[in-house]
Amino acid sequence: MDCLHALKTRRCVRAYTGEPVPPEVLTDLVDCGRLAATARNLQPWEFVVVTAPRMLSAIAAVTDFGSFIAQAAACIVVLASDTKYYLEDGSNASQNILVAAHAHGLGGCWVAGDKKPYAEKVCRLVGAPGGFKLISLLAIGHPAEQPEKEKRSVSEVLHWEKF
């Protein structure tokens, strides 16, 4: 899939077929994440790829709007050390991973991490050392739905030269 098409057609997918995703594909998703831009090239991130069903269920259970993680083939837990731009950096990596998943023919959905009361619990579940921030929980799997989403048009959001 070409990059522009992938960017324009990616949508959050929250239903999965149950088919596993090969480790080399999951590795490629993290590879795409770790190549994202970061402030001062600090690359403050770490990625934990969870595939064990019990662990997926445990993560899903502590979230408020992420119950579908339990049915995903994998959950990529995006963590960052507490740098000035950790959230921007970690978000860049997360978006790269979701677009790469779509380009691989997979579906993915971002489940909130930063600012959530369950962030510490997830960090503990995946064994992260103290001081790490939870950026996102990225549920990944073979899509069992093709969601449509209302999007604001380019003419509505684009301002040439001045707002």
Ligand X SMILES: Cc1cc2nc3c(=O)[nH]c(=O)nc-3n(C[C@H](O)[C@H](O)[C@H](O)COP(=O)(O)O)c2cc1C
**What residue ranges bind ligand X (CB under 6 A)?**
11-12, 14, 65-66, 109-112, 147, 149
- Residues 97-128 as b/e (b if ≥16 CB within 10 A, e otherwise) read bbbbbbbbebbbbbbbbeebebbeebbebbeb
The one-character DSSP state at 65 is S
Q: Closer CB to ligand X, residue 27 or residue 145? A: 145
CB of 138 to ligand X, least distance (A): 10
The span from the CA of 130 to the CA of 127, in Å, is 9
Q: Closer CB to ligand X, residue 14 or residue 104? A: 14
CB of 2 to ligand X, least distance (A): 19
CB of 71 to ligand X, least distance (A): 13
Q: Compute CA 86 distance to the chain's CA centroid, rounded to the nearest angstrom.
A: 15
Q: Closer CB to ligand X, residue 27 or residue 80? A: 80
